Amino acid sequence: MSELNPFKIAQAQFDEAAEILGLDPAMREILRWPRREYKFTIPVKMDDGSTKVFHGYRVQYNDARGPTKGGLRWHPAETIDTVRALAAWMTWKTSVVDIPLGGGKGGVTCNPKEMSEAEKQRLARGWMRVIAKELGGDRDCPAPDVYTTPQIMAWMMDEYETIIGKNHPAVITGKPIPIGGSQGRGDATARGGIYTVREACKKLSVDPNGTYAIQGFGNAGQFAALLHKEVLGGGKLVAVSDSRGGIYVEDGMDPEAIVKYKLETGKVADFPGSKPISNEELLELDVNVLYPAALENVITKENAPNIKAKISCELANGPTTPEADVILHEKGVHVIPDFLANAGGVTVSYFEQVQGMYNYYWPLEDVRKQLDAKMTKAYHSVYDMHSEKKVHMRLAAYLVAVNRVAEVVKLRGWV
């Protein structure tokens, strides 16, 4: 069904912003579609001696504002339409944080859980051999995403450099630090989100030392637990949940203790001194800040009327449905939308690309200072648009991002 097609959804979101901005038909058409897309086959010799043919993709959605940037997913359900949608969203994400890049995305239809390390390396190098001539730090720069790792990025960079015959670490980001990765990349997604929460607390006069809850306790959720206190100077973590259940501690829990417990046991359930709570109950807690950091579509038109958080910072991708956005806006819940809230990751990836281009690597404090500046400015740009146009924050973020890309497309004379 077309309404479940992720690229149709991405186009519909763009269309709403384009209508409000009054973009002319030619501008709408050029921004509704990828500038370039590549679909190809990758033959890989498997460990048992057989050859398996994988389907690979790279979509360069729009490069008006700079080289395209975006991750590589290795997933059994990968399709050209998921890659197109993700490339479109990357275009708006790089624009909303105002870094001089466009949006791209890539992938391979495969199940890496069923592959050996040697097979993964051959697949990584095979993907790069097909597409290398279309990549580069000044052209298109991939990064890790679902089921791809810093090690896979290192193999891809090595293959690229073998093909072109010279060092070019900026072709790939998300690399291990010894081979040109950036300091500060590990917690960048959560840290960037918490910088925006800090600014929202100032705008809305919300106490940053109040209560907060985290739905989803993977990488982003764990860093959010730790960094909320570090960045905001306090706060009381009352609830966290993961796929195996949730916990509630009315008087607050020690973020370091619950992260340690999760890493040791693989779950948050049964944390000493806690009461069990469902994911659904956690979302409806009366807290100052809610961090949806797990799956898409967890806040819907059914439960949105019951959301009591003052601020919802979307570290996950797509946790709120379009119908729920409208309800939350009318209720006065301040949503920091995903492609603003979790843009810290691509921002530090951009910093890695810059460092690779001029072969000088920044200390951690410089990375964090620059990330803070970018996220703070981006939040205020979106907040100002939200106030001016009287629209919810997600639509405001689209208006900011699409307007910036359209301006450069026009300056270039493409339309």
CB of 125 within 8 A of CB of 90? no
Q: Which two tokens stand for residue 62?
A: 């729009």
Compute the distance between CA of residue 76 and CA of residue 112 in angstroms, rounded to an integer. 8
**Catalytic residue selected from 8, 39, 45, 105:** 105
Q: Determine how many CB atoms are found less than 10 A away from the CB of residue 193.
A: 30
Q: Which residue has the tokens 């969203």?
A: 89
User: Which contiguous run of DSSP H or E holds residue 164?
Assistant: helix 150-164
User: Is 167 one of the annotated binding-site residues?
Assistant: no
Put the strands of the sheet holding 36-45 in their side by side order. 36-45, 51-62, 102-109, 68-75, 140-144
Tokens describing residue 86: 């993700």
User: Is 303 among the annotated ligand-binding positions?
Assistant: no
Count of alpha carbons within 13 angstroms of residue 208, beta-carbon side:
18
**347 labelled as ligand-binding?**
no
Q: Is the dihedral of CA 184, 186, 188, 193 positive or negative?
A: negative
- Answer yes or no: is 189 a known binding residue: yes
Q: Give which of 181, 99, 130, 154 is closest to 90, Cα–Cα.
A: 99
- Annotated binding residue at 219? yes
Beta strand 36-45 pairing with 311-313 = unpaired
Residues constituting the chain:
415
**Is the Cα dihedral 248, 250, 254, 257 positive or negative?**
negative
DSSP string computed for 331-378: HT-EEE-HHHHTTHHHHHHHHHHHHHHHT----HHHHHHHHHHHHHHH
Known catalytic residue: 229? Answer: no
**Annotated binding site: which residue ranges?**
69, 93, 189, 219, 349
**Annotated binding site for NAD(+): which residue ranges?**
189, 219
**Annotated binding site for substrate: which residue ranges?**
69, 93, 349
Residues assigned a catalytic role: 105
